[in-house]
Amino acid sequence: MADESVLALAHAPELLQQLQNPEGDFDEDTPYVPDIYAHARRSVGAALEAVDLARAGQKVFSLMRPPGHHATYREAMGFCYLNQVAIAGLVARQQGVARVAIWDFDAHHGNGTEDILKGREGFAVCSVHQFPGYPGTGTQDTIGCRNWPIAPHATREVQMQALRQAWDHLLAFQPELMLISAGFDAYAHDPVATLSLEMSDFGELGKWVREAALPTAAVLEGGYSPDLPQLMDAFLSAWEG
């Protein structure tokens, strides 16, 4: 479980207090459940451990819930309570990692990650996501954060081209650490989004990660299809090689 002191690197004291003493649901997508603060801290702790292992040379995937990439500096939203990828990146920077890249291929814009990290030195963040779609952001670039909005029902080719552009942008940043917000809801048969990737496409993403051979940790974000285990396996098997 993550120490409370690291949470303050990415989140306002008011949000941390609200998570500990909620007065009800955070929004219609982000309910209060018993011990949610502890569960979210465990997700953060797993991401921190994943980064430690990645920096030691391992290929690491954090299979945890709740996800985090919608959690902003001040707000829990979109099923997300604490932003584990942003926190893990900030801790890595504190530990001396000069350049941290974050690749978000979830079907939804990583608005929380952008909110927390935009303009911060040593970060490059890329999100490829459906728009229009939740949370209704991610149409413009901000300092250190680039966005590729993809129209609903866009072809696989359009989406894979955007994912490759985002990946190449991050590689050009020459990161010392790659963090991946790995959402699998861009799958053609996901019940939440309306994008077009097939299982083999997630294998292609994993191949890119393997070929880059960077210290890399991936964290599970979205993915709501019954095929989620197979989608993760396609990505991870290709990454492992």
Q: How many CB atoms lie within 10 A of CB 206?
A: 24
Helix axes 13-20, 36-55, angle to 10 degrees: 120
Q: How many CB atoms lie within 10 A of CB 170?
A: 24
**What is the per-residue pLDDT for 3?**
83
The residue annotated as part of the active site, out of 11, 39, 69, 70, is 70
**What is the per-residue pLDDT for 198?**
99
Give the CATH superfamily of 4-240: Histone deacetylase domain (3.40.800.20)
Whole-number Å distance between alpha carbons of 208 and 185: 19
Q: Would you call the peptide bond into 152 cis, given omega within 30 degrees of 0 as the criterion?
A: no
**In a structure prediction context, what are the per-residue pLDDT tens digits for the chain, which is 241 residues long?**
778 899 999 999 999 999 999 888 999 889 999 999 999 999 999 999 999 999 999 999 999 999 999 999 999 999 999 999 999 999 999 999 999 999 999 999 999 999 999 999 999 999 999 999 999 999 999 999 999 999 999 999 999 999 999 999 999 999 999 999 999 999 999 999 999 999 999 999 999 999 999 999 999 999 999 999 999 999 999 999 9
Burial 138-161 (b: 16+ CB within 10 A, else e): beeeeebbbbbbbeeebeeeebbe
**What is the per-residue pLDDT for 4?**
86
**What is the per-residue pLDDT for 103?**
99
Is 39 labeled as catalytic in the residue annotation? Answer: no
